[in-house]
Every structure is written in C-alpha cells, then in structure tokens.
Amino acid sequence: MCKRHLQPTAVGVVYTRPLAPILKMNFETIYSRKNQLFPEQLDIRDGSFVQDSTGFLSQNLVDIWNAAEEKSESSAEGYFIWAMYCLLHRQAKKAFRKGDFTLKISDLTKEDIRKEYEKVLKKAEPKRRIKSCCRMMASQFNKKCEIHDSIYDCPDVILDRNEQGSQFRILIHDGGTSGISIKFCPWCGKKTKTGANNV
C-alpha cells in the first residue's frame, strides 16, 4: 500500500479558503518569486519507481517542495508551489527513466508553469464549496500523494467525485479511470447526492 500520503499540508489547508483573493493575485508576481522558492538544480539520484512503475518518489524532490512551502507567503503561492511540484515530479519521472538525474528548473517553460498553476487553481475551486459528510470522506479528497501524479494511479484514493460533489464513484484501479457510482457514503452511510447541502 502507498504509505507516502501527507497529512493536509499548507496546500491542503488552503483549499478551504475563499478563492477570490487567490485569483486576484497576478501570475507574474508569483512567478517572479520562483527562483527564491526553488533551487535552479535538483538531484534526483535518490529516486525510485514504486508500485509497478506507476509511481515515482524522490526524497530530494519532496524536501525541496517542503522547503518551498516554508518560504510560502500566501495561499496563492501555496498553489503555485504545488503546481511546480506536480510539474517537477512528472519531469523527474521521465528523466529518471532515461538515466538523467539532474533536473533544471529553467527547463520548465513559463507557459507550462502557467498552465499547471491554472489547472491546480481550477481543481481547488470546487473543493471550496463541497462539504464532506464525514471525516473519512473528507480525507479522501484532501490527500496529497508524493508518489502518484494522478489519483487514478494511487491505491490509497478509492473515490472520485464530479465538480459539483453530487456524484461519487468507487474507483476500480485497473490502469484507467473507471469507477462504480455510489449513492451512500461508504463510511457514514449518508446520501452522497445531498451530502453537499446537508452538512
């Protein structure tokens, strides 16, 4: 089993804050702090593939992510750092496979970073509105996995939901994104369809 899930970090916690002030923050402003938050070069020699090569973990990369979070000054920066981590993690996985153990931050294009940042913000937005029926349900959607880029690869994530939080599925980890719809929370038994409004 995947044991590398973090408890909600600064990134997880900011999901509950209102999104408006985050969106108002200029991407250029955050982007200009990139070199203060991340070192230019990153050694991923310590990396390894886990779980039949679907996952990749480098403690160095995780340390750099944590160090960046400690320097983070706003929730927007928290999202930015998470976006950078996602990009770097994907790049690290590819590079490592080719036997290349040095990542350069300058290899990431500004456009790639902007796209990933917007993706992270978009993902965060619906989470702000959806209230979970119980702690266990909430924990499913607050997890951050260091190993897997996608929840569909991570054996510890067993549910997904639509953007409105009105439909939930139990995931079938068959390499794709299939799942079986459920109408009741598997932990507390409340109706999932009304869960968003009932809490």
Nearer to Zn ion, 134 or 158 (CB): 134
85 in Cβ contact with 119 (< 8 Å)? no
- Shortest reach from residue 111's CB to Zn ion, in Å: 28
We find the least distance from the C-beta atom of residue 142 to Zn ion, in angstroms, to be 14
CB of 3 to Zn ion, least distance (A): 9
Single-letter amino acid code for the residue at 73 = E
Please say which residue, 91 or 132, places its beta carbon nearer to Zn ion: 132
Residue nearest to Zn ion as judged by C-beta position: 185
User: Looking at beta carbons only, is 98 or 135 nearer to Zn ion?
Assistant: 135
Chain residues binding Zn ion by CB under 5 A are 2, 133-134, 137, 145, 147-148, 154, 185, 187-188
| Nearest residue (CB) to Zn ion, 2 versus 84 | 2
Distance CA 125, CA 129 (A): 8
Alpha-carbon gap, residue 104 to 20, rounded angstroms: 32
d(CA 75, CA 149): 21
CB-based contacts of 11, cutoff 8 Å, min separation 6: 69, 78, 79, 81, 82, 144
Number of helices and strands (H, E) in the chain? Answer: 9, 9
Shortest distance in whole angstroms from residue 130 CB to Zn ion = 12
Hey, CA dihedral for 37, 38, 39, 43, is it positive or negative? Answer: positive
Nearer to Zn ion, 103 or 137 (CB): 137
Asked if residues 43 and 102 have their Cβ atoms less than 8 Å apart, the reply is yes
Min dist. Cβ of residue 53 to Zn ion (A) = 13
